Amino acid sequence: MRLALAAAVLLAAAPLPAAHSGSTLSDAAGPYDIALFSTPTAPAARGHARLVYAPSPFGVAVTADGRARYDVQITASALPAPSTLGAFSSYVAWEVTPDLSRWTRLGVVAKGTSTVGPAELNKFLLVITAEADSMPAAHAGPTVLHGTSPSGWLQSFLTHPLFRGVAP
Amino acid sequence: MTGRARAMWTEPLAAVLLLLPVASPAQQPSAPHASPTNPAPMHDMPGMSEHAMVMPIPMPAGMPMMPGLVGLAPGVTPFLPGAGLDLARLPAAKASAVVRLKNGDTLDLTATLVRRAIAGHAFAMYGYNGEVPGPLIRVPRNATIVVRFHNRIDLPSAVHWHGVRLDNRSDGAPGVTQEPVAPGADFIYRIHFPDAGIYWYHPHVREDVEQAMGLYGAMLVDSPDSDYYPPANRDAVLMLGDLLVNADSLIPFGREGPDFALMGRVGNVLLVNGEPDYALHVRRGEVVRFQLVNVSSSRTWNVSFGGAPMKLLAGDQSRFEREERVMSVVLAPAERYVVEVRFDRAGRVPLVNAVQAINHYQGEFVPEVDTLGMVTVDAAPVAPDYGRAFSTLGAHPDVSRDIDRYRGYFDRPPDKRLTLALATTALPLATVQFMSIDTAYYAPVEWVDGMPDMNWLSTSKQVRWVLRDDVTGKENMDIDWHVSAGSVVKLRIFNDPTSFHPMQHPIHLHGQRMLVVARDGVPSTNLVWKDTALIPVGATVDLLIDASNPGAWMLHCHIAEHLGSGMMAVLHVDPPAQGSGR
Ligand SMILES: [Cu+2]
């Protein structure tokens, strides 16, 4: 089950972006890849994301309470011009809690590969929306791509945030 | 047992276990008599014992012992130092004393049994010269000292001078540079200190036992440059360790080899300089330079001082190129970092270790905060006040210039490649089932032991941690690398996240210095010379080794139980006159 899941995600991910000049890491691809899925707003859109360590002087990048901090390399293709979807000028990436209650702006997604972040939640949804400007105070526009952080895959139904508080 | 605010893991969901997939036989590649899907009866499993003393292991709140593991005990003979001795006849451990030595001086260092009182209980443990930590050896840079080591404990031992680029003969690595020092025997070490900074010494025989029981000490090497570090009102060495205790007893060790071989022995009593309640009194505005050393067997720490501003100065073997502000300090086993903290408000400031635990039953991350001690800040202001210097972030062009010689190597293809993996044999079925979902957490570091029952039962008979040479396929002590002195070696280490129970590994290289030049292809932007590098799960880390010191040098994981389960190789740095050999 786990292997099948991992294989599905790896297959969904397109070739990894070259991250370091003169050094190829593709043979040692890390696990922290996120497949992005399109929505009816932009059905042709394709994308994937990769979590890489945010800059840190230590062996891992973590917050003071121990959550891993990642920059997110987002590669998207076939995104229509935002203006074709309505009164929008930019695509913006968000880190969203699994219960959808909190949205944190990570940065602007442009053509090719954009690095945004850092993402600092243990589990999160990665959502890309069309917005009226590149620095929106809150998300308002339609979702064009979305995915789930790898640590969110393991989730028992009974403890899923969306089910909490619901009587059995 | 320390004052800890821990979220309770209160919703057991044993039903989930029924849904767990079973690991494929390939994940236990060398099981000779049983496969995970067709287990032999427990009494047939090598290393599993039903008649050894059963010592219930402390479990996290709300986490029951796995039904399939109840009644089992690790297949090693339980062993505790000083068992059966009259505790009252053992000398009480003393606090570490500073021993200032100059070039040519000699120190006698004796390992003995001592009595320690921890959290209200008395235990027979070990100390150097009756002290825990052992004497703080303070020397000027470029000094050479002689240490006469006397082993007066009940196990063979040897002393490794961690991080010091010394003469190979004094490296204290039994099996590579010397024979173990038998109980009652002695050994003479000659130690030269070429680099300023904070170092430490510890046994290199069964460190899962000897180090955990108290055999560790710090070495401060002073630079001749009085401005080496920015000014501070005081220095404090903090050796961060832990101890595994259940009720009023220590959990025994394995006589024939380590238990807790999977995750390493993660203690439930957190210790600073051997004590569970660190206390420091300072004045308002005081700048304290903390020299942090992780002496625990397995635990990676994430420490901070209640939000007080921190400035990072140095790592294992040098200052950073640039000082920088940090919110916390992450230390894997054997790593050191030097930070300054300014206490600018009167009151009590907790020293905390704040991490994310994993609830393996529910697939949840759980915040865990342990208070290691308290800094009490007086209202009276300190003099002199170094606030202005503290607010400045210095740069160290001399460090950058030293590194400049190596920058041309940063982007070259790796000379050597290692993959970190795990091979297991005949673990209990319940353990195999539970662990087979572990890769789904995607936690780069396991900060706490979330499954102590499984971990405890795993011994070095069943668990073999692996360093695998990607080119030759050779593993661990078969690797036998040779390079000539003066080589610069780019080593790429990949911690395979798809292996069975992947885990972070702090990889330590003896006798040389190295730079972490990139992680996951992202170049480091503020470099520091290191001897130990944390390789998180899934990470690909590029190390640049300045292989300048001839000799046979160990390269190993510094999690004591991983080392005890095979995770080591030897790098031969051949003198130039002899050629590179192979
Ligand atoms: Cu390890």
Q: Which residue has the higher pLDDT, A20 or B285?
A: B285
CA–CA separation, B447 and B267 (whole Å): 11
The pairing of beta strand B532-535 with beta strand B505-509: antiparallel
Tokens describing residue B166: 């010394």
Q: Is the pLDDT of residue A164 over 90?
A: no
CA–CA separation, B468 and B413 (whole Å): 18
Contact assignment for B445 to A57 by CB distance below 8 Å: no
Contact assignment for A159 to B355 by CB distance below 8 Å: no
Q: Where are the alpha helices (DSSP H) in B269-358?
A: none
Which residues does chain B have within 8 Å of residue A8's beta carbon, measured at their own beta carbons?
none
Indicate the DSSP class of residue B202: E
Which residues does chain A have within 8 Å of residue B523's beta carbon, measured at their own beta carbons?
20
- SS3 string, B132-201, reads CCCCEEEEECCCEEEEEEEECCCCCECEEEECCCCCHHHCCCECCCECCECCCCEEEEEEECCCCEEEEE
Task: Report the alpha-carbon angle B66-B68-B71, nearest 5.
Answer: 90
Closest CA to B223 of B143, B280, B293, B167: B143
Residue type, A139: H
CA–CA separation, A120 and A105 (whole Å): 12
8 A C-beta contact, residue B538 and residue B497: yes
Contact assignment for B328 to A23 by CB distance below 8 Å: no
User: Ligand 1 centroid vs B518 CA: distance in angstroms?
Assistant: 20
Task: Report the alpha-carbon angle B355-B357-B362, nearest 5.
Answer: 150
8 A C-beta contact, residue A124 and residue A109: no
Q: How far is CA B364 from CA A15, A30, B11, B169, B504, in A?
A: 30, 22, 11, 49, 19
Q: Is the pLDDT of residue A163 over 80?
A: no
Q: How many CA atoms lie within 13 A of B416 on its CB side?
A: 21
What pLDDT shows up at residue B48?
Answer: 42
Tokens 């260092």 -> residue: B109
User: Ligand 1 centroid vs B387 CA: distance in angstroms?
Assistant: 40
Tokens 């078969």 -> residue: B478
Q: How many CA atoms lie within 13 A of B373 on its CB side?
A: 18
Summarize chain B as % helix, strand, coil (round to 5): 10, 45, 45
Burial of B489 (0-12, 13-18, 19+ CB in 10 A): buried
The pairing of beta strand B234-243 with beta strand B269-272: antiparallel
CB atoms within 10 A of CB B176: 18
Closest CA to B271 of B82, B505, B96, B99: B96
CA–CA separation, B260 and B264 (whole Å): 5
Residues in chain B: 582
8 A C-beta contact, residue B561 and residue B537: no
Is residue B133 reached through a cis peptide bond, with omega within 30 degrees of 0 on the bond before it? Answer: yes
Tokens describing residue A2: 């786990």
Helix (H) or strand (E) holding B561: helix B560-563
B415 near A CB under 8 A: no
What pLDDT shows up at residue B16?
Answer: 32
Burial of B152 (0-12, 13-18, 19+ CB in 10 A): middle
Contact assignment for B521 to A122 by CB distance below 8 Å: no
Contact assignment for B362 to A60 by CB distance below 8 Å: no
Closest CA to B160 of B102, B199, B208: B199
Classified as helix, coil or strand, B368 is strand
Tokens 């280490």 -> residue: B493
Tokens describing residue B239: 């050796």
Q: Which residue has the higher pLDDT, A128 or B430?
A: A128
Best mutation target among B522, B537, B541 (most A Cβ atoms within 10 Å) is: B522
Contact assignment for A62 to B335 by CB distance below 8 Å: no
Contact assignment for A53 to B522 by CB distance below 8 Å: yes
User: Ligand 1 centroid vs A87 CA: distance in angstroms?
Assistant: 53
Closest CA to A61 of A119, A147, A100, A124: A119
Average pLDDT over chain A reads 80
Mean pLDDT, range A126-152, rounded to an integer: 94
Window B:502-531, CB contacts with A under 8 Å: 504, 506, 516, 518-523, 525-526, 528
CA–CA separation, B300 and B180 (whole Å): 28
B364 near A CB under 8 A: yes
Which residues does chain B have within 8 Å of residue A33's beta carbon, measured at their own beta carbons?
none
User: Ligand 1 centroid vs B463 CA: distance in angstroms?
Assistant: 12
Tokens describing residue B223: 């630079």
**Cβ contacts of B238 within 8 Å, gap of 6 or more:** B272, B273, B278, B290, B291, B292, B293
CA–CA separation, B113 and B122 (whole Å): 13
Residue of A nearest to B329 (CA): A58
Query: What is the C-alpha end-to-end distance of chain A, expressed in Å?
Result: 26
Nearest to A66 among B354, B412, B506 (CB): B354
- SS3 string, B447-460, reads CCCCCHHHHHHCCC
What pLDDT shows up at residue B15?
Answer: 30
Q: Is the pLDDT of residue A7 over 70?
A: no
How far away is chain B from the Cα of A12, in angstroms, using its nearest Cα? Answer: 17
Query: Sign of the C-alpha dihedral, residues B104, B108, B111, B117?
Result: negative
CA–CA separation, B538 and B558 (whole Å): 18
Q: What is the full per-residue pLDDT of chain B (582 aa) written as tens digits?
A: 333 333 333 333 333 332 333 333 333 333 332 222 222 223 333 334 443 444 578 887 777 788 888 888 899 999 999 988 999 999 999 999 999 999 999 999 999 999 999 988 999 999 999 999 999 999 999 999 999 999 999 999 999 999 999 999 999 999 999 999 999 999 999 999 999 999 999 999 999 999 999 999 999 999 999 999 999 999 999 999 999 998 788 999 999 999 999 999 999 999 999 999 999 999 999 999 999 999 999 999 999 999 999 999 999 999 999 999 999 999 999 999 999 999 999 999 999 999 999 887 777 889 999 999 999 999 999 999 999 999 999 999 999 999 999 999 999 999 999 999 999 888 888 888 777 777 777 788 999 998 888 899 999 999 999 999 999 999 999 999 999 999 999 999 999 888 888 999 999 999 999 999 999 888 999 999 999 999 999 899 999 999 999 999 999 999 999 999 999 999 999 997 644 444
Nearest to B356 among A53, A122, A156 (CB): A122
8 A C-beta contact, residue B164 and residue B193: yes
- Maximal C-alpha separation, chain A: 56
Mean pLDDT, range A125-135, rounded to an integer: 97
Window B:178-197, CB contacts with A under 8 Å: none
